[in-house]
Structure 1
Amino acid sequence: MQLQQLAYFVAVAEVRHFTQAAEILHVAQPSLSKQIRALEAELGASLFSRARGNISLTPAGEALLPLAKRILADVDTARLEVQELAGLRRGRVRLGATPSLCAGLLADVLRRFHDAYPGIRLIVEEGGSRDLVRDLTRGSLDLALVILPLQGDPPLETTPILRENLVVASPTEPERLPRRPYLRIEDLRNRPLVMFRSGYDLREATIGACRTAGFEPRFAVEGGEMDAVLRFVEAGLGIAVVPSMVLAGRPRLRGTPLVLAEDGVERGQNGPGLQRTVALARRKDVDPTHAARAFQETLETYLVEAALDGSLPAGVDAIGSITAVPRRQGQ
């Protein structure tokens, strides 16, 4: 089995057309077809069904596709790592992050990293936590900022770094919620919610909290990304459960804390609110590149300094081993 054969197979699988795949790869179509047949002979199974000119994956092809993509991604990472060590390139970091982090503190971390390592290429993928876990497992990302706990048992190593409060986002005007400095989960009953698309952990957290309280949430609209959800709330379509940091710079929205146990609040104490934990994740079976290690160090140092000087966004706290990272001399 050759890497070239896997690359040809993935190209055909993605476009479902031999001639188009050959054009994309800048190779002759007969040569591509020959390599695909050689790969099928090596594996002892047909990878494509070619009935009536329609190209589709066989069960064997479906099984091979994610593995082939992961192999090719790992080879690309290895090539960049060796070139980095050889001084030919400085490398790259492929980072996944949730929309709330992209809209919040991540920009400052990226700026610090870019200033320290201007030759390293930064590629940021924004998405829901489930989507990022999938892409990281497949080798499409080097690192990802994801939400714990992870669904299933992906082969990832995670380092908790942040805990952020979730709040109910609602329009500043008109007033539609109870006049209290906090809300209970029960206050969401029968209220129209603006809901994220599948793949967002915020969707699962909101639905799970409502069901635990004994009711099914009612959706006014669903399927949006973070910016769309906030805009829909501004337009008065409904309310939404979001991280507190995303409301910065949105004067038309207010965030009301969600309280899970009201007794403590009634006595003037801080009751437990709805929160989520952010972790930095990477694959267990692949050592991080030098560039990825440098980014993790930059991120951790930034969070330590921000926690010490109180500049973390409202409702966000550094947690775990991050707070134990020593500051460098001169910082």
Structure 2
Amino acid sequence: MTLQQLAYFVAVANVRSFTRAAELVGVAQPTLSRQLKALEDDLGAPLINRGRGELSLTPAGEAVLPLARRMLADADSARTAVAELIGLRSGRVRFGATPSLCIGVVADVLRIFHEQHPDIRLELVENGSQPLVRALVRGELDFAMLVVPREGLDPTLDITPLLRERLSVASPRSGRPPSSRGSMSVTELSRRSLVMFRRGYDLREVTLQAYAEAGVEPRFAVEGGEMDAVLRMVEAGTGVAVVPDLVFAGRPQLRRTVLTPPLYRTVALARRADIAATHAAEAFCATMLSFVGEVAASGGLSTDVQVLYRWRER
């Protein structure tokens, strides 16, 4: 068994096509097929069903896939760590964050880290919390800043809670306020048309859960938007949306109305607990934690954002 064979297998499992997998890894299809057959012979069982139509994994293939991904991620971490230890002035940080956090905290952290470490390559993945968790588990990200669901995160992840943030109703400042009191209940909100995020956004799940607990049904104006699109549609008067308080900064066209009882979400920094972080990734994590602590100490966050992590220089 070789890492190359495992990489070919993971490529086929990802795209379910020998032809496309060969293109992705940059080899001829017969070479990829021979290497996969050699891997199956070594393991003693077929990994891929080669019938007509889309390829599928055998039970053995399903069992091997997460192990192969972990082995490839560990090998990549080993190469990067050794290169740093022998003095190579380069590295890579693969970081993921939700769109609302990219608008606020993350953009500043990326700027600061790049100024401090200009030779480190930064790769940002912007996505909902659920896809980010899957990417972390597969070893495709070093760290992610995401929202902790009620039932908790995958047990293979190590998390550092950072913020407890209030969610509020965003409406266009040019229109009538959704409530004359400056606050509203979920039942009152249910009478307004919602601009709703696409599936995979924690904000969608939190909002729908709040509706279910209040015993009301949502009325959708539009479904399926990303953060920037949702905020723009709210500004245009398409409907209202439940969003984190951090996004109101720098958005003068949005009006904030708080929910009663309040809705909160917990933001955390997450990583794979069983994979050692590279020096570059550790430095990025330290920059993130330091920035959050400094902003909190300076009063730069909304009063409805509670900092859960207290940074101390080591």
Q: Which residue of 2 aligns with 1:7?
A: 7
1:281 matched to 2:256: no
- Tell me the CA shift for residue 55 of structure 1: 3.8
- SS of match in other structure, 2:141: coil
- Tell me the CA shift for residue 94 of structure 1: 0.9
Paired with 2:254 and 2:298, the residues of 1 have a C-alpha distance of 27
Q: Which residue of 2 aligns with 1:299?
A: 288
Tell me which amino acid in the other structure corresponds to 2:274.
D
- SS of match in other structure, 2:46: coil
Q: Which residue of 1 aligns with 2:299?
A: 310
Structure 2: gaps (5+ residues): none
Paired with 1:148 and 1:31, the residues of 2 have a C-alpha distance of 43
CA contact 2:77–2:277 (8 Å) conserved in 1: no
**TM, length-normalised to structure 1:** 0.87
- SS of match in other structure, 1:51: coil
- Tell me the CA shift for residue 152 of structure 1: 5.7
**TM, length-normalised to structure 2:** 0.91
Paired with 1:312 and 1:167, the residues of 2 have a C-alpha distance of 15
Q: Kindly, what percent of the aligned residue pairs are identical?
A: 59
CA contact 2:185–2:260 (8 Å) conserved in 1: yes
Paired with 1:49 and 1:244, the residues of 2 have a C-alpha distance of 49
Paired with 1:192 and 1:283, the residues of 2 have a C-alpha distance of 39
Paired with 1:19 and 1:153, the residues of 2 have a C-alpha distance of 34
1:78 matched to 2:64: no
Q: Which residue of 2 aligns with 1:223?
A: 224
Structure 1 residues 18-64: Cα deviation after superposition (integer angstroms, max 9, x where no partner): 34433443434333222111111122222223334764433433443
- Which stretch of the first structure deviates more once superposed, 142-151 or 108-117? 142-151
Is the alpha carbon distance of 1:239 and 1:53 closer, same or farther for their aligned partners in structure 2, counting shifts above 3 Å?
Answer: closer
Tell me which amino acid in the other structure corresponds to 2:33.
S
1:194 matched to 2:180: no
CA contact 2:77–2:276 (8 Å) conserved in 1: no
Q: Which residue of 2 aligns with 1:47?
A: 47
Structure 1 residues 148-200: Cα deviation after superposition (integer angstroms, max 9, x where no partner): 23546431111111122211011112215121121222211232111111111
Tell me which amino acid in the other structure corresponds to 1:256.
T
> For this pair of structures, how many residues does the alignment match?
313
Q: Which residue of 2 aligns with 1:265?
A: none
Q: Which residue of 2 aligns with 1:61?
A: 61
- Tell me the CA shift for residue 89 of structure 1: 4.1
CA contact 1:245–1:315 (8 Å) conserved in 2: no
- SS of match in other structure, 1:206: helix
Paired with 1:37 and 1:100, the residues of 2 have a C-alpha distance of 45
Paired with 2:174 and 2:70, the residues of 1 have a C-alpha distance of 49
Paired with 1:15 and 1:208, the residues of 2 have a C-alpha distance of 34
- Tell me the CA shift for residue 207 of structure 1: 1.0
Tell me which amino acid in the other structure corresponds to 1:293.
E
Q: Which residue of 1 aligns with 2:312?
A: 326
